[in-house]
Every structure is written in C-alpha cells, then in structure tokens.
Amino acid sequence: VALAESIGEALRSDQFDVHYQPIIDLASGTPIGVEALVRWQHPTLGMVSPAEFVPVAERTGAIDGLGRHVLEVACRQVAAWRRGAPRAAGLYASVNVSPLQMRDGTFPATVRAALERSGLPPQALVMEITESAVVDERTVVPTLIALREQGIRVAVDDFGTGYSSLHLLGRLPVDILKIDRSFVSVLDGTSRSAGIAEAIIRLAGVLELSTVAEGIETPAQSAELQLLGCTAGQGYLLARPQTADRLTATWGARL
Ligand code: G
Ligand code: G
Ligand code: MN
Ligand code: NA
C-alpha cells in the first residue's frame, strides 16, 4: 500500500533511474542494443527492484506514467549514443512494456511521440512484452500490429516461461524471442541440457524470428548458444545492467 501511494510522487520527484544492459553480438563482442531496466532510488527504502514495484504500478494504473517515463529516457539516451559514436549508429533500445500499457488504443501514439521527441528512428526501438494472463489478447495484438507497421520491433521476453505458449506465439505479431535465462543457466555441454534452448532457436528459425539469449554467465554458455545458432545475448559475463554514464565510460569506444 505504501509503495502504491508513492509511485506517483516518485515520478514527480524523479526517483526512477534507467539502467542499461548491453545486448551483444556473441561472435564479435559488439553491442547491438541495450535493454532499459528501471530502478527506484527510494528515499528511505533504498534501491527497490522493478520485480516489486512494477506489479504494484500495474495494479494502481501508475504503469502508464512509469512506462512513458522509461520509454522517453531510453529513447533519448540511445539516440545520444547513436549520434556520439560512429560504431553505435545501429544500436537499438529494448524497452520492457507491460501488456497493461496496451489496454487502450493510445500506446502507439505515445511511442511515436517519444520517438519524435528523441529523434530515435523506429527501427532502433524494440518493445519487450511478456505474455500475461491479465490482459486480453484482443487488445494487445492490434497494438503490436500498429507498432510493427511503424517499423518498431517486438520481442517476447522470458520466452518459454510463465504464460508463454506455442498457441499464443502462433498468433502474436513478433520479431524476436528472448530465451529465458533458466534455459541458459542449465547449459553444461550435454545435449540433454541444451534441449530447450535448441528447440527455441529452431522454432525461431522456422518462424523467421531472431533470438536473444538472456542470463549468459559463462564463456561455455556463450559458446554453446552460438553452436546452437543463437547469435545475440546478454548476461553478467558480457555486461551487467548499469547507468548510462558508467556504460559510456567503460564501453564508449565500442558503443
Ligand atoms: O532489472 P531486474 O532484473 O531487476 O528486473 C526485474 C524485472 O522487472 C524483469 O522482469 C524486467 O523485465 C522488469 N522490468 C525492468 N524494467 C522494467 C520496465 O521499465 N517496465 C516493465 N514493465 N518491466 C520492467
Ligand atoms: O525479465 P527480464 O528478462 O526483463 O529481466 C531482466 C533481469 O535479469 C534484470 O533484472 C537483470 O538484472 C537480470 N539479469 C541480467 N543478466 C543476468 C545474468 O547474467 N544473470 C542473472 N541471474 N540475472 C541477470
Ligand atoms: Mn526484458
Ligand atoms: Na527476460
């Protein structure tokens, strides 16, 4: 209840930071994108995880304002990186979106406004969605179609967990499957451990989708994913989520 009441105030007093985790081309080590991950610097509680406050924001309706804020900040930051470094010219922003932000028809216009204000082209934006039982597919699918018509790509986050189903995937207009880290962490070099990751990568191939592996923590996992045909990934091995300033300082030359 306390969190619920303070989200609006936290937005007004700028307590939400956006951190960025690079998404890397595994073969070359080059960043191809960054995932925006919101952080709450709470005045008394310290850093609060989005795993705690995003569900609260979804319940109270604050998710719309919070989501708009993250989108605006991330679009501006990635546009700046793209302008600042020739090698970052193709960098994309990958922004998590709650399906609740798509429950009315206004979301595509919200996204278009953020792109126009920042100068980021639609081709440099990926929206990450997790399927949720809360929201009606009939409201989400038309929104995804409208976003893709603008040139924005859509990724299914945490693919293979929760409410993900092949039934739903067949009807979702998407471009990218993000392989959930639970299928990456088990990779131990045996074909049995690789089964699910391999199946997701093959499925993506058949559906002409690309894949991004999440939660890569060891060189062996990165190597195995590449053998399986997954060319992009993120994880603590490659880079942790961090502030834009830190990322610019440590990765500037490669961005
Ligand atoms: O960054 P971290 O691993 O703590 O994120 C925890 C969860 O919060 C992840 O599932 C992530 O997708 C989600 N999350 C992070 N930032 C955002 C955001 O801006 N919007 C939404 N809807 N979810 C987010
Ligand atoms: O649900 P989503 O995939 O958006 O969640 C991203 C979350 O995963 C972030 O909170 C981020 O901090 C976390 N994360 C990123 N890389 C790794 C990793 O290599 N290992 C683990 N355990 N978590 C990671
Ligand atoms: Mn995500
Ligand atoms: Na994920």
Q: Could you tell me the residue ranges of all domains in the chain?
A: 20-36+63-248
Ligand 2 atom 23: the closest Cα is on which residue?
A: 215
The alpha carbon of 146 and the centre of ligand 4 are apart by a number of angstroms equal to: 23
Task: Tell me which ligand sits closest to the C-alpha of residue 94.
Answer: 3
Residue of the nearest CA to atom 12 in ligand 1?
Answer: 96
Structure tokens at 152: 């924005």
Ligand 2 neighbourhood includes 158 CB (under 6 angstroms): yes
pLDDT in the model for residue 147: 97
What is residue 60's predicted lDDT score, i.e. its pLDDT?
94
Quick one: CA dihedral 58, 62, 65, 66, positive or negative? Answer: negative
What was the pLDDT predicted at 135? Answer: 65
Q: What pLDDT score does 1 carry?
A: 53
Could you please state the CATH topology (level 3) that the domain comprising 20-36+63-248 is classified under: TIM Barrel (3.20.20)
The tens-digit pLDDT sequence of the chain (255 residues) is: 588 889 999 999 999 999 999 999 999 999 999 999 999 999 999 999 999 999 999 999 999 999 999 999 999 999 999 999 888 889 999 999 999 999 889 999 999 999 999 999 999 999 999 876 556 788 899 999 999 999 999 999 999 886 667 877 888 899 999 999 999 999 988 888 999 999 999 999 999 999 999 999 999 999 999 999 999 999 999 999 999 999 999 988 777
pLDDT at residue number 133? 57
* ipTM of the prediction: 0.96
Give the Cβ contact number of residue 232 at 10 Å: 21
Q: Is the CB of 241 under 6 A from ligand 2?
A: yes
Helices (H), the chain: 2-12, 50-60, 63-84, 107-118, 137-149, 166-169, 181-185, 195-206, 219-228, 244-251
Quick one: pLDDT at residue 26?
98
Ligand nearest to the CA of 24: 2
The residue whose CA is least distant from atom 1 of ligand 1 is 37
Cα of 73 to ligand 1 centre, how many Å?
Answer: 15
* Residue 102 near residue 47 (C-beta atoms within 8 A): no
What's the confidence (pLDDT) of residue 239? Answer: 97
Distance 94 CA to ligand 1 centre (A): 11
> Which is it for the CA torsion 216, 220, 221, 224, positive or negative?
positive
Model confidence, pTM: 0.96
